[in-house]
Amino acid sequence: MHPLTYKSAGVDLELYDQAMARLPALMKKTHTPRVMPLADGFAGLLRLNATAKPGTAAYADPVLVSGTDGVGTKLKVAQLAKRYNTVGIDLVAMSVNDCLCLGAEPLLFLDYLALDKDDPDRIAQLVEGVSEGCVQAGAALLGGETAIMPDLYAPGDFDMAGFCVAVAERSQLIDGSTIRPGDIAIGLASSGFHSNGYSLVRKAVFEHAKLTFDTMVPQLGKTVGDALLEPTQIYVKTILSLLKTAAPRTQVTGLAHITGGGLHDNIERILPADCHLVIDRKSWPVPPLFRWLQELGSIDREEMFHVFNMGIGFVVIVRPDAADAVRKHLSDAKVAHWTIGEMQSADKRGVELVG
């Protein structure tokens, strides 16, 4: 009988070391002036105020804002397509966009990968996406964990989770409490399905319509695989630059990341008790991607609006006298956007989609 080893149990430490050797360069490209060097540390270090770079934001009364999320079953699409370098962007986006809803600047991001076996190429591709997402968000990829668990994950399976820490000035936190009747809702374009509703997407595309990843979709001008793996839009730089020109709480009164639950559920959660937002669904063009999926799966229109962002990935609520300036800022930044609704007074908070 041969003696047992870790490798015979399914974990190859030599392959693991090969994978880990690829990651420091991907992390290094995300490091901001706040990061403090710490070779081979058990954790990462980051300075909040004073940094080596003059002009980096400092805070008088800083509040830490945190969020965590995963990618969901969009990972199954990446797994089946064997294309792993984009879902890490989704992972970062889902957490940093949530923290952004309080007007917070992302500071750092941590990722957790769990796989069925040691696979340096797959691990490197996954972290490549995380690194790119952190660059887009201005967050430092400060560390992470890669777990090899052959008894928990079937061959080819993997999972990803992430954790963001952000910061905001306490006096400038945007929590929706200053929203008033008359405020205007401006919707920013999404890049596609983002990372929500993929159980329904996969069922419609692969089970119902029997399409493959290589199937060309004429109305989209791309393959099924390219359409489904389009990364989630990261709104951090757009919104933070806007907040430097429009006063938080007095001009920009609410921010909402449109994820599962669509426009209704995600905006309603930030509204005061006496505010009712009426959204005109004819005020923006629903992208062809969503119409294609709806027809492909014979999905009811209301179900589409409840599950997906329908082309609006982030919503900014502003005072009416600041709306023109906000729209101009977004136009100058070449960010597609539309005025999608207006706040009304009500006995009970809510969101109504009309049109």
Instruction: Report yes or no: 145 and 19 within 8 Å, Cβ to Cβ.
Output: no
Buried b (16+ CB within 10 A) or exposed e, 258-283: bbebbbbebbbebbbeebbbbbbbee
Q: What is the pLDDT of residues 256-305, one digit of tens each?
A: 999 999 999 999 999 999 999 999 999 999 999 999 999 999 999 999 99
Structure-token pair, residue 321: 């006298």
Q: What is the pLDDT confidence band of residue 134, given thresholds at 50, 70 and 90?
A: very high
Residue 49, Cα to own-chain centre: how many angstroms? 26
Q: Report the pLDDT averaged over residues 149-178.
A: 95
Q: Residue 8: what pLDDT?
A: 76
- The answer to whether the beta carbons of residues 113 and 158 sit under 8 Å apart is yes
Specify the pLDDT at position 48: 85
CATH number attached to the domain at 13-172: 3.30.1330.10
Do 278 and 344 contact (CB within 8 A), yes or no? Answer: yes
Given pLDDT bands bounded at 50, 70 and 90, which one contains residue 73?
A: very high
> Cβ(257)–Cβ(97) under 8 Å?
yes
The helix or strand, by DSSP H or E, that contains position 279, with its residue range, turns out to be strand 275-280
Poorest-pLDDT segment among 45-49, 171-175, 332-336: 45-49
Tens of pLDDT, residue by residue over 205-242, are 999 999 999 999 999 999 999 999 999 999 999 999 99
pLDDT at 11: 81
Give this prediction's pTM.
Answer: 0.95
Q: Are 160 and 127 in contact (CB under 8 A)?
A: no
Do domains 13-172 and 184-354 share one topology? The answer is: no
pLDDT at site 57: 77
The ranges assigned to domains in the chain are: 13-172, 184-354
Q: In this model, does residue 52 exceed pLDDT 70? A: no
User: Tens of pLDDT along 74-126?
Assistant: 999 999 999 999 999 999 999 999 999 999 999 999 999 999 999 999 999 99
Please tell me the predicted confidence (pLDDT) of residue 41. 83
Q: For the residues of 106-151, what is the DSSP string, one character each? A: EEEEEEEEEESS--HHHHHHHHHHHHHHHHHHT-EEEEEEEEE-TT
Q: How far is CA 96 from CA 68, 219, 237, 308, in A?
A: 9, 32, 11, 19
**pLDDT value, residue 252:** 98
Contact 94, 196 (CB under 8 A): no
The CATH code that applies to domain 184-354 is 3.90.650.10
d(CA 268, CA 261): 10
Q: What is the mean pLDDT of the chain?
A: 94
Q: Is the pLDDT confidence value at 9 over 80?
A: no
Distance CA 170, CA 249 (A): 11
Q: Are 242 and 316 in contact (CB under 8 A)?
A: yes
pLDDT level of residue 40 (50, 70, 90 thresholds)? confident
Is 54's pLDDT higher than 70? no
Above pLDDT 70, what percent of the chain? Answer: 98
pLDDT for the residue 182: 97
pLDDT class of 55 with cuts at 50, 70, 90: low
- Among 152, 144, 195, 175, residue whose Cα is nearest residue 248: 175
The DSSP secondary structure of 187-250, one letter per residue, reads EEEPSSSTTS-HHHHHIIIIIIS---TT-EETTTTEEHHHHHTPPPPP-HHHHHHHHTTS-BTT
Mean pLDDT across the stretch 161-166?
97
% of the chain beyond a pLDDT of 90: 83
